[in-house]
């Protein structure tokens, strides 16, 4: 029987009703922000959504939050239990939300139960090879969730991997390298953070692909699941 994903994330990532979660990779980061924060609201947590990089404007994309702040005036607001709040800075040139001051977010963490940060960019591609500048993991981070979209399996890397221009395909060996490379999925994870890899797309994959992904070598201090973010389901533990 498949297990519910958001419930598992709650028990895995949140300790004593507190967590500062950075979300990296590709293939579903924004879905985690929206769906997991909505789940946590129903569970009675106060949740802050923000970014350490860039996000679509909350006026052009619905993050399903109760309040939106695009200035430090958020410091005058105290959240209620079961409420979610969006915070960032709006960039008029980019027409996007960019990272607010990390020091302000650090102060806000004292008054919110859970902070969820989109800490990476992948231009909507399912896989990501990191550069020196990313992901941007703020010092308060207690948990890191790295996502990849398995619908890119078997496709040319230049079509489905951000920052990889090779025409070779994404195969088992390539994903195994992404999992274990210093610039791959686990970049930013450490001994003092709760570390989780999510391979999204379990609802659309052939069983043979799932069986291959289950053979990945997952380093110590890291949990890993094949999931469907859209269906809130865990299909396999790796």
**pLDDT tens column, 58-117:** 999 999 999 999 999 999 999 999 999 999 999 988 889 999 999 999 999 999 999 999
Encoded tokens for 122: 């992948």
Question: Would you list the DSSP string of 107-166?
Answer: HHTTT-SEEEEE----TT-SEE---TT-----TT--EEEEEEEGGGTTSBHHHHEET---
Distances (CA, A) of 59 to 51, 71, 139: 15, 14, 29
Per-residue pLDDT averaged across 42-62, rounded? 96
Give the C-alpha separation, 131 to 182, whole Å: 10
Edge-to-edge strand list for the sheet holding 89-91: 54-56, 96-98, 89-91
Encoded tokens for 46: 């106060």
pLDDT of residue 1: 47
Question: Would you list the DSSP string of 180-231?
Answer: HSTTSTTTT--TTSEEEEEEE-TTTS-HHHHHHHTT----TT-EEEEEETTT
Higher pLDDT, 157 or 1: 157
Encoded tokens for 69: 């702040």
Edge-to-edge strand list for the sheet holding 114-118: 3-4, 233-237, 223-228, 194-200, 143-149, 19-25, 114-118, 47-51, 84-87, 67-69
Give the C-alpha separation, 51 to 47, whole Å: 13
Instruction: Answer yes or no: is pLDDT of 2 > 80.
Output: no
Whether 197 and 189 have beta carbons less than 8 Å apart is answered as: no
What is the reported pTM? Answer: 0.95
Task: Name the helix (H) or strand (E) containing 9.
Answer: helix 5-13
Which positions ≥6 away from 58 have C-beta within 8 Å?
Answer: 65, 68, 70, 86, 88, 97
Give the closest residue to 88 by CA, choosing from 122, 58, 60.
58
* Residue 50 CB-density burial (10 A; 0-12 exposed, 13-18 middle, 19+ buried): buried
Instruction: Answer yes or no: is pLDDT of 40 > 80.
Output: yes
């Amino acid at each position: 029987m498949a297990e519910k994903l958001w419930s598992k994330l709650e028990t895995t990532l949140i300790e004593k009703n507190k967590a500062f979660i950075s979300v990296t990779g590709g293939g579903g980061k924004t879905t985690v922000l929206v769906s997991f924060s909505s789940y946590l609201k129903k569970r009675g947590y106060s949740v802050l959504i923000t970014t350490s990089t860039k996000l679509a404007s909350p006026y052009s994309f619905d993050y399903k939050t109760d309040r939106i702040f695009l200035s430090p005036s958020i410091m005058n607001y105290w959240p209620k239990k079961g409420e979610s709040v969006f915070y960032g800075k709006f960039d008029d040139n980019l027409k996007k939300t960019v990272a607010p001051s990390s020091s302000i977010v650090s102060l806000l963490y004292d008054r919110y139960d859970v902070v969820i940060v989109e800490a990476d960019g992948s231009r909507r591609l399912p896989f990501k090879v990191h550069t020196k500048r990313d992901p941007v993991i703020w010092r308060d981070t207690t948990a890191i969730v790295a996502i990849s979209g398995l619908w890119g399996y078997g496709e040319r890397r230049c079509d489905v991997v951000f920052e990889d221009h090779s025409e070779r395909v994404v195969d088992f060996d390539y994903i195994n390298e992404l999992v274990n490379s210093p610039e791959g999925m686990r970049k930013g994870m450490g001994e003092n953070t709760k570390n989780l890899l999510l391979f999204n797309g379990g609802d659309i994959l052939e069983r043979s692909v799932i069986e291959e992904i289950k053979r990945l070598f997952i380093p110590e201090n890291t949990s890993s699941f094949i999931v469907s973010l859209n269906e809130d389901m865990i299909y396999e533990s790796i």
